[in-house]
């Protein structure tokens, strides 16, 4: 049970912690997550977002510690992905199915598709306001951050932003605020950005500009996952600015898999070459590292090297998994190269190059193909490839 907490006068965090989840649609959540929901007491009582459907009773119990749930006058759905909208039917069933349900235009479409119900939808767009008594909400659509329906709700008088998934982190802990968790939170926020928002970095830049132009101040940023930013909300804004610029750093990620350790030997030699150029390196075997952790390292790297043996005229399935995942998140500003061992047909490097091309990365070498086991000469070529990557990364950083 998560005791509801008054985070500002008459504003409560009423969501739930999910300590057990370890896979969030393909994203590794080693420390669980939270589904945050917020309750505002005013002349009109407002619930912002809900939780996964299996936590609906817990949400109602939390609300019940503050008011009878039937006293809720308005529900705002900032985002319709099921971890935030899944409990809407149960909540509305409890508080009244005619309760106004505020959402964006796409939110309306999605909620209708999800639940096949004609609720009392109130569609809002950027700039629309909603007075609830002493307070006023201002809505800001944040399309594709990270779904078409996503929006922010900003409580003007308190300067509190309810930001949906943006600025969130997948972590369940006793901490509620940034100042209670310390620096550790940034690594969770970085992983969240790399795996959920990176593909929409251009939109993040535009949104940050909109926020700056409007002169919006934030006493608190309350996301739908993880801790609330109250001590220094500007820290996460600055981090989003940096991550969304996709500026490369002096780091190369060597991503590989191996059958009989030949491609592993090549990977280590490539990594050695990178280090020879005083560039940081991460050696990540796709069967040892989760795709979402690899993605987090790739996000701010200046280069990637990808290695795979040839298997049945193709690349290793786990390497294909990771590349498909990385490609979808559209990392930019990186140099790249491929390598791999083979027995007789040797298609892997060609396929890897095609994948890297589709990612629009700068391929700096035709790639290294080695038959069976790399000898000293082959490993020297791998070291040279690593050095070449290291030099190029240094040039672009
Ligand atoms: Fe936390 Fe996009 O849902």
The residue segments making up the domain with residue 34 are 5-245
pLDDT for 2 equals 56
Distance CA 310, CA 343 (A): 7
pLDDT tens readout for residues 59-84: 999 999 999 999 999 999 999 999 99
* Ligand 1 geometric centre to CA of 196 (Å): 9
The total number of structural domains that make up the chain: 2
Dmax (CA) for the chain in angstroms is 77
Q: What angle do CA 108, 137, 236 make, to 5 degrees?
A: 90
Residue nearest to atom 2 of ligand 1 (CA): 81
Distance CA 291, CA 146 (A): 19
| Residue 1: band (very low, low, confident or very high) from pLDDT cuts 50, 70, 90 | very low
* Ligand 1 geometric centre to CA of 344 (Å): 46
Q: Are residues 225 and 262 in the same domain?
A: no
Q: Which of 228, 245, 262 is the last residue in one of the domains?
A: 245
* Edge-to-edge strands, sheet with 46-48: 5-8, 11-13, 38-40, 46-48, 74-76, 101-103, 121-123
CA dihedral 166, 161, 184, 226 (to 10 degrees): -70
Q: What is the mean pLDDT of residues 362-386?
A: 98
* Ligand 1 geometric centre to CA of 110 (Å): 13
pLDDT tens readout for residues 72-125: 999 999 999 999 999 999 999 999 999 999 999 999 999 999 999 999 999 999
Q: Are residues 142 and 29 in the same domain?
A: yes
Residue nearest to atom 3 of ligand 1 (CA): 81
Q: Which of 212, 245, 278 is the last residue in one of the domains?
A: 245
Q: Are residues 351 and 372 in the same domain?
A: yes
Does the CA dihedral 171-175-176-178 come out positive or negative? negative
Pairing mode, strands 310-311 and 301-307: unpaired
- Closest ligand 1 atom, residue 196 Cα: 2
Burial bucket for residue 395 (CB in 10 Å: 0-12, 13-18, 19+): exposed
DSSP 8-state assignment for residue 167: T
pLDDT tens readout for residues 272-317: 999 999 999 999 999 999 999 999 999 999 999 999 999 999 999 9
Q: Are residues 34 and 132 in the same domain?
A: yes
- Closest ligand 1 atom, residue 168 Cα: 1
Q: Are residues 72 and 17 in the same domain?
A: yes
- Closest ligand 1 atom, residue 164 Cα: 1
User: Beta partners for 76?
Assistant: 48, 102
CATH number at residue 277: 3.40.50.360
Rounded to two decimals, the pTM is 0.97
Instruction: Find the length of the chain.
Output: 397
- Closest ligand 1 atom, residue 146 Cα: 2
pLDDT tens readout for residues 184-241: 999 999 999 999 999 999 999 999 999 999 899 999 999 999 999 999 999 999 999 9
Q: Is the pLDDT of residue 170 over 50?
A: yes
Long-range Cβ contact pairs of 115-119 (< 8 A, separation 24 or more)? 115/88, 115/89, 117/89, 119/88, 119/92
CATH number at residue 177: 3.60.15.10
pLDDT for 3 equals 76
Average pLDDT, the chain: 97
Q: What is the mean pLDDT of residues 322-351?
A: 98
Residue nearest to atom 1 of ligand 1 (CA): 165
Residues at CB less than 6 angstroms from ligand 1: 79, 81, 83-84, 146-147, 165, 224-225
> Which residues are catalytic, by number?
25, 79, 81, 83, 146, 165, 192, 225
């Amino acid at each position: 049970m998560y005791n509801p907490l008054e985070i500002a006068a008459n504003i409560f965090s009423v969501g739930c912690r999910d300590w057990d989840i370890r896979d969030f649609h393909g994203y590794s959540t080693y420390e669980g997550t939270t589904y945050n929901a917020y309750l505002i007491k005013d002349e009109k009582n407002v619930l912002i977002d809900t939780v996964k459907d299996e936590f609906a009773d817990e949400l109602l119990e939390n609300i019940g510690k503050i008011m009878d749930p039937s006293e809720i006058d308005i529900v705002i759905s900032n985002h319709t992905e099921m971890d935030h909208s899944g409990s809407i039917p149960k909540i509305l069933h409890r508080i009244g199915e005619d309760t106004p349900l505020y959402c964006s235009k796409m939110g309306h479409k999605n909620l209708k598709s999800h639940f096949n119900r004609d609720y009392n939808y109130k569609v809002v767009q950027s700039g629309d306001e909603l007075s609830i008594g002493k307070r006023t909400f201002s809505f800001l659509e944040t399309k594709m951050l990270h779904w078409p329906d996503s929006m922010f709700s900003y409580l003007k008088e308190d300067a509190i932003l309810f930001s949906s998934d943006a600025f969130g982190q997948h972590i369940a802990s006793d901490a509620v605020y940034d100042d209670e968790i310390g620096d550790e939170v940034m690594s969770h926020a970085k992983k969240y950005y790399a795996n959920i928002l990176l593909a929409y970095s251009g939109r993040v830049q535009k949104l940050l500009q909109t926020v700056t132009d409007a002169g919006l101040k934030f006493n608190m940023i309350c996301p739908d996952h993880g801790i609330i930013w109250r001590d220094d909300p500007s820290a996460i804004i600055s981090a989003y600015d940096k991550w969304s610029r996709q500026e490369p750093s002096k780091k190369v990620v060597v991503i590989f898999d191996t059958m009989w350790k030949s491609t592993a030997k090549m990977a280590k030699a490539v990594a050695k070459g990178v280090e020879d150029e005083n560039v940081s390196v991460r050696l990540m075997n796709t069967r040892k590292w989760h795709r979402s952790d690899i993605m987090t390292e790739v996000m701010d790297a200046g280069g990637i090297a990808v290695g795979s043996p040839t298997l049945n005229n193709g690349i290793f399935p786990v390497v294909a998994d990771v590349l498909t995942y990385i490609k979808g998140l559209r990392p930019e500003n990186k140099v790249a190269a491929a390598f791999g061992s083979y027995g007789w047909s040797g298609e892997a490097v060609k396929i890897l190059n095609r994948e890297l091309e589709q990612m629009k990365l700068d391929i700096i070498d035709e790639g290294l193909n080695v038959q069976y086991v790399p000898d000293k000469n082959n490993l020297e070529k791998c070291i040279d490839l690593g050095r070449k990557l290291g030099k190029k990364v240094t040039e672009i950083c």
